[in-house]
Chains A and B, each alone.
Chain A
């Protein structure tokens, strides 16, 4: 009887145009019924050669390009690149600019985590939390537009400071947002966190062991949900993060559920940082004098920032001219995508979607 029931595996192209691949990722799945036997990610559909284009742009011109490197947290990309360049030049950044960077960066982190949580809900079929998180995300984007004029590609954090000071109406709006974000998080938690279906779909799914985290250099909230206490803001402090009082939420469940909870906890922590930064912010200059024909010293540098999806690093080689000789960007999502096949094998297609969402993989960061 068993011999007559011959079943065979089936190869399915998930993507590049699939609603749950967050951009244009193609996953070549070998499935046995509903079970994923093998998963091979195929990347490159969103390749824009940003690193190469940078070689033909002056340093200030690279910043708008970096907006496109990872468009969910453009502030961090601006910041990462600016930080690397400043390190190369030993450029001193005015103190107010540092505070503005922290405020914008943390607000951007909240926006990114809200997006991730909403999209995770969307991928699991809960359509409403997505709209709720987007509602709050819109508030942040309003703040950004008020300050720098754009909602997605900010081009705000520049080499040697920030582009413009914040307008006076920023303060009340930002405080208002910070006051309500905790209550709104409670709202999301009511719809998601304790929901038995949500728990069933996420708990114990996509176990990313600590060993895998170390092997694949997974970073960010995904690593911290697996018990790896590593946050660049704390452990390799850059900018002025040592002046703020905040916790790094670490969870030990290693599963999608804890990755979700880690993000939720980080939203609250980020709000805490922004509150402190708003209180402490000094007056003063917001930008060091940098000419459009800015030339760093000859040399190379690697500098990293803690992005919402992990370590974001920039390796710049300078030959002393106005243009970088080589720029290499590192985003966390690439490692997350690489580790995905390891953890989805044997699970269901629906789990793959959940894991993909919970690792917060977005494609522009991978393809660059």
Chain B
């Protein structure tokens, strides 16, 4: 295996360090898993911090501003400074809030955002656990985020928060359907729900046998549904600042708010990673090591989402629902029909 591949070094670490020390019994496996969990968690936290900074920079440059400039080189440490500030802040729980629900909402949101990374293939052989229903697992686990938003909206006992929570529930229910259906087309072609298998199915043509070339419609639907899924403008209705002030997280402060905030960025990275894996050939690509391809494609998708956010106005709630059920859903069925007929016909 190529020495540039991370999987090679991780395998080396496992063989040379962990197994000799902890053995390969149950304890050794436990230690291994804990290390992997922490490694993924740490990496994702770093990515989330980076994305926050990156979004601020991109928005600033689109708007011909500088963005953060003071902390570190071009303000790269700004997010860390913000996080430190948020941790120091008083953690306020409103008097009339439903305390348990209010407390657990950000934690669930945070945990679910990270849990999706169990099945994301970062590179060749670089996956925490290659579940054979990987994509289904992701769709299931990301839906939990919506429950946490609903909990936050309800638990805050605030009218704006409640409206935000309700909107998020309605939106999630509507957009889950076209999202899942658009992925279904790919699953039909690759014949597996395992993320690794989906990526491997796209490895032809020197690593450019991407699903997007065969299912552009599916990709289009996925992008739109994913934007809604990640609560990004133009579908950021649950937290529409100008209408609901901040929607579901209006009552949150300090670390709990930071959890929601980071979870939003992790979610954005998740949907980008899925788009990469499912439509853009995952880690497939020539010359460069696989993890670089994966990160590059994913960050490009993230960039696209950021451009959406800083360009478009927000849809109204009824238009949002209408769009999901009257436009996206028929298109998604059309896509499945097209994949079913063409894939069978041409035998991809």
Contact = CB atoms under 8 A, between A and B. Distances in A.
Q: Does chain A touch chain B in the assembled complex, meaning CB atoms less than 8 Å apart?
A: yes
Contacts of B290: none
A124 B233 CA distance: 10
A135 B314 contact: no
A200 B327 CA distance: 14
Interface in A94-126: 121-126
Contacts of B318: 34, 348
A135 B243 contact: no
Given A124-B242, A125-B233, A350 B312 contact: no
Contact of B241 (A19, A121, A200): A19
Given A12-B160, A34-B163, A197-B234, A124 B314 contact: yes
Nearest to A126: B313
B88 to A, nearest CB: 25
Interface residues of chain B: helix, strand, loop or mixed (majority): helix
B220 interface: no
Interface stretch (B59-67, B209-217, B294-302, B333-341): B59-67
A351 interface: yes
Most buried by A among B166, B233, B313, B314: B313
Interface string B307-338: 00011111111110000000000000000000
Interface in B275-296: none
A198 B244 CA distance: 19
A147 B236 CA distance: 43
Interface in A11-38: 12, 18-20, 33-34
B316 A201 contact: yes
B171 to A, nearest CB: 12
A191 interface: yes
B161 to A, nearest CB: 12
Contact of A350 (B62, B243, B310): B243
Nearest to B314: A125
Given A131-B64, A132-B63, A124 B241 contact: no
A10 interface: yes
Most buried by B among A123, A124, A350, A353: A350
Contacts of B312: 125-126, 195, 197
B240 interface: yes
B160 A125 contact: no
B99 interface: no
Given A10-B159, A12-B160, A125-B233, A201 B315 contact: yes
A322 interface: no
Interface string A201-232: 10000000000000000000000000000000
Interface of B: 59, 62-65, 159-160, 163, 166-167, 233-234, 236, 240-245, 310-319
For the complex of A and B, the 8 pairs showing the least CB-CB separation, nearest first, are: A125-B314, A131-B63, A124-B313, A126-B313, A350-B316, A20-B242, A123-B242, A125-B313
Given A127-B310, A132-B63, 5 more contacts: A124-B242, A128-B62, A128-B311, A201-B316, A350-B314
